Amino acid sequence: MSTLVVVVVVVVVVVVVVVVEVVVVVVVVVVVVVVVVVVVVVVVVEVVVVVVVVVVVVVVVVVVVVVVVVVVVVVVVVAAVIVIVVVVVVVVVVVVVVVVVVVVVVVVVVVVVVVVVVVVVVVVVVVVVVVVVAVVVVVVVVVVVVVVVVVVVVVVVVVVVVVVVVVVVVVVVAVIVIVVVVVVVVEVVVVIVVVVVVVVVVVVVVVVVVVVVVVVVVVVVVVVVVVVVVVVVVVVVVVVVVVVVVVVVEVVVEVVVEVVVVVVVVVVVVVVVVVVVVVVVVVVVVVVVVVVVVNTIDYKNTYVLSTR
């Protein structure tokens, strides 16, 4: 009877131990599965975060490159258009100035030639007329003298008057010629001075326009380059900050996950150890109790039988 009880107790204890071990194994498997799922989720999240960061960085870099290229192309085109316009304007101004100068010179030369010809013709005509008149008068006077000697004095007077008139006419014509020549020379000098002043003014205006346009183009190019550099620096700083934040978040998440995994594993191990220790202690206690009880019963039975 005592042996049967011991066997039953041992069997029960063994069954309990097996059940406890099975439960512990199931719990460990579940914990391991949960830990694996958590790790897989964390890895997937990290991969997704890295992919997103890479995509964002690539997009930002592409956008920055496109913006820089567009800005540079626009600046180059604008500068080229401005330079072309300035060159065309300068060429047109130079051509106009040259044409004006040539026209003015031709007009002045023509005017001078016409004035000189007119003056010469007038002088020749006047001289011819005066000479003809003088000859006619002298002939008439001679005829009159031949015919009428009495009027000699009158003839002399007339000749003197004619001579005086001729001299006066010659002097007047000479004065007119001198005045006309002086006026023509003054006009030529004035025209030359005006042409020189116009040319100087046009050259100064063209130089000022070219300098202003070049300064404006340089200022525009410098401003555009500074803006592009500032935009690129800001974008790079933003990208670096985003990448650093993402990396820090990823590291923090990974550390937290690893800490949680370690804690879970430690807790599971501690629980398993405690359960095993408890089970072993319970088994030992039960076995000891059963053995003591059975031995006590056997001792009593043996004692009773021996006294009988």
Give DSSP secondary structure letters for the chain: -HHHHHHHHHHHHHHHHHHHHHHHHHHHHHHHHHHHHHHHHHHHHHHHHHHHHHHHHHHHHHHHHHHHHHHHHHHHHHHHHHHHHHHHHHHHHHHHHHHHHHHHHHHHHHHHHHHHHHHHHHHHHHHHHHHHHHHHHHHHHHHHHHH-GGGHHHHHHHHHHHHHHHHHHHHHHHHHHHHHHHHHHHHHHHHHHHHHHHHHHHHHHHHHHHHHHHHHHHHHHHHHHHHHHHHHHHHHHHHHHHHHHHHHHHHHHHHHHHHHHHHHHHHHHHHHHHHHHHHHHHHHHHHHHHHHHHHHHHHHHHHHHHH-
pLDDT at 272: 75
Under 8 Å between Cβ of 257 and 39: yes
pLDDT at 298: 66
pLDDT at 307: 62
Residue type at 110 in one-letter notation: V
d(CA 282, CA 15): 13
pLDDT at 150: 65
Q: Which residues touch 105 (CB under 8 Å, ≥6 apart)?
A: 195
d(CA 15, CA 112): 143
pLDDT at 308: 59
pLDDT one digit per residue (tens) for the chain, 308 residues: 556 766 777 778 778 778 877 887 788 888 888 888 888 888 888 888 888 888 888 898 888 889 888 988 888 898 889 889 888 988 898 888 888 888 888 888 888 788 778 878 887 888 788 788 878 888 887 776 677 666 667 767 877 887 888 788 888 878 887 887 888 788 788 888 887 888 888 888 888 888 888 888 788 788 878 887 887 788 778 877 877 887 787 778 777 877 877 787 778 778 777 877 787 777 778 777 777 777 777 666 666 666 65
Under 8 Å between Cβ of 257 and 45: no
